[in-house]
A and B are shown apart, each in its own frame.
Chain A
Amino acid sequence: MEIPRHWRLKKQRYSLQGEICPHCEGKIFPPRDVCPHCGNDARTTFTFSGRGKVYSFTHVTEAPAGFEETAPYTVALVQLEEGPVVTAQLTDVEADEVEIGMPVEMVTRKIRSDGNERGIIIYGYKFRPVLDGAR
């Protein structure tokens, strides 16, 4: 059980809430309060758009504990529109449809269940191919 850790990370997990550096305007994810670009204090919150592209990916068939329910699945490095690269599962996509450069968007999904049907359900970001619709 890691309830305090899950609770602490909920903002960044549910809605990609990171930071923006007030000195160099660098966008920071995950939030770390010190700008990785210029080294200054950066505590201003910034919510990312959730749009990005697949930078690289791999398919997982032997899932680690807690992730068996969705295996096999694809894990990708997603380069966000604003710059940072995040590691996340892809969802609503077949393995053979994934390619480098594919436009994706963030959705909030179940990441894992902590302790089967008894523990808390962990929600967080995943990415899916952009749904354009008729817009």
Chain B
Amino acid sequence: MEKPETPILAHKPARPVGIVGYGAYVPRYRLPAREVARIWKGGKDEAPVREKSVPGADEDVITMSIEAARNALARARIHAHEIRAVWVGSESHPYAVKPSSTVVAEAIGAPVSIQAGDWEFACKAGTEAMVAAIAMVAAGMGRYALAIGMDTAQGRPGDALEYTAAAGGAAYILGPAEESLAVVEGTYSYVTDTPDFWRRAHERYPQHGQRFTGDPAYFKHITEAGKQLMKDLGVTAADIQYAVFHQPNTKFPQRVAKMLGFTPEQIQPGLLSPVIGNTYAGAAMIGLSAVLDCAKPGDRILVVSFGSGAGSDAFLFRTTEALVERQRLALQTQDYIARRTEIDYGMYVRLRGKLAD
């Protein structure tokens, strides 16, 4: 069989699917970058973010996912009994073996006849779960599926990642397009074996390939995924109101936005890394929740995640009339960001259990 010359690679769900509910979560503590610089760099360093969010001693990916999922349920205005899948993407699941998803499912009141599982793909575990949720609803295997991206990221004391490794994320309930606040216009994913960042089993902190994390990893995968999706759907940056990219720091998403033709204004509402840091599997997803909080009906939103190892999931959403009334049915992303308690490096060491080993 002949290969078509310009194949369409993007996926459009066989049945129209959309986001029926979404919810964010960010813990209350903030560690300013100047605190990290004070301890490790004599106070002199060019920090990649202003500050980052830090979870409380009684918080982890499970508790944070529960709150985000409850917010998503409040916006979807459905009973948890109608959910057919609970999937949690993270690289900080509290257990190595024992699913986060079953605790989340039980806490929000989901039924026992569901798919439940934890996903791992570095920072794109949550968007991978979202693609699967879209497929499940499109396939008619369930009316609603819940996909969560949430992290309490690990940074070795003194490592460059300590400035940014943060906590937070968002939950999405995917369902029929006619009930949606944002319809999925298409998705496209691009993955390769690229060893830019990893954490071996039983290791507490990750390793990374320093500058190798940039061009061959982050920029390559996001631009490939974003360009292909826009091409296949016949849209350009000018047809899109907002864009959200994975945000490991402040500069990377700004630079990749420019490479794909987006203006600083188009990425501003979803660029949260300067004030909450890099929430890993939560980063692109909470960027999207911040955009949904302020978007208007008919807006197009491009989301491209990036997970080390490596890959990107690209989504194009179009918001509907249902968005406006649901924006205020739960706490907004900026409400959580505004709830801010600054801590010093000492308290950070205690909260993150850094003296434990």
A residues at B contact (CB < 8 Å): 10-11, 14-15, 47, 69-70, 89, 91-92, 107-111, 117, 120-121, 123, 126, 131, 133-135
Contact = CB atoms under 8 A, between A and B. Distances in A.
Nearest to B335: A133
B94 A121 contact: yes
B63 A135 contact: no
Interface stretch (B54-62, B260-268, B305-313, B316-324): B54-62
B107 A135 contact: no
B66 interface: yes
Contacts of A135: 328, 330-332
Contacts of B339: 131
Which secondary structure characterizes the binding site on chain B?
loop
Interface residues of B, number: 26
B171 to A, nearest CB: 14
Given A10-B106, A109-B56, A117-B356, 7 more contacts: A69-B58, A107-B67, A108-B107, A110-B57, A110-B60, A121-B60, A134-B332
A23 B67 CA distance: 34
Interface of B: 28, 56-60, 62-63, 66-67, 94-95, 98, 103, 106-109, 328, 330-332, 334-335, 339, 356
Contacts, number: 60
Contacts of B331: 131, 133, 135
A123 B57 CA distance: 13
Given A14-B106, A69-B57, A92-B56, A131 B62 contact: no
A123 B62 contact: yes
Contacts of A121: 60, 62, 94-95
A50 to B, nearest CB: 9
